[in-house]
Amino acid sequence: MPDTMVDSNVLLDVFNQDPQWSAWSSTAIMEAAEKGMLVINAIIYAELSLNFDRIEELDAALPPEQIERRAIPWDAAFLAGRCFLDYRRRGGAKTSPLPDFFIGAHAAVEGLPLLTRDATRYRTYFPRLKIICPP
């Protein structure tokens, strides 16, 4: 069964009960969980931490039997840097969220679909990455 990388924005929709996105995100998470493990990395974990006061609260929201934490492979880090360089050469802002490139590269290197609401940058720089996003 295929595992799925889950972007922080989708998890935050559920944690924060976002009025616009929580229903879509909850459904998408449940559908992905039926097919395999949900996966996050340290970048996603760090982004999520901004919404929690204590590490124990965040860890409780990410039960290991439902959400697997994976290290970012070195080749994904290299790919993230190369894609970010391409982004900068195309005129991208210096303040661009480099973390998105790590997330996209990690999913691409491991062959994981990416569940996200921010598909545009991922589609541009990781064109073979399978993206699960709102229509």
pLDDT value of position 96: 59
Question: Do 76 and 41 touch, CB atoms closer than 8 A?
Answer: no
**What predicted TM-score, i.e. pTM, was given to this entire model?**
0.91
The 10s digit of each residue's pLDDT in 19-43 is 999 999 999 999 999 999 999 999 9
Q: How many domains is the chain partitioned into structurally?
A: 1
The 10s digit of each residue's pLDDT in 120-130 is 989 999 999 99
Integer Cα distance of 8 and 11 in angstroms: 5
pLDDT value of position 128: 94
Here the CATH number for the domain that contains residue 17 is: 3.40.50.1010
Residue 21 belongs to what domain range?
4-132
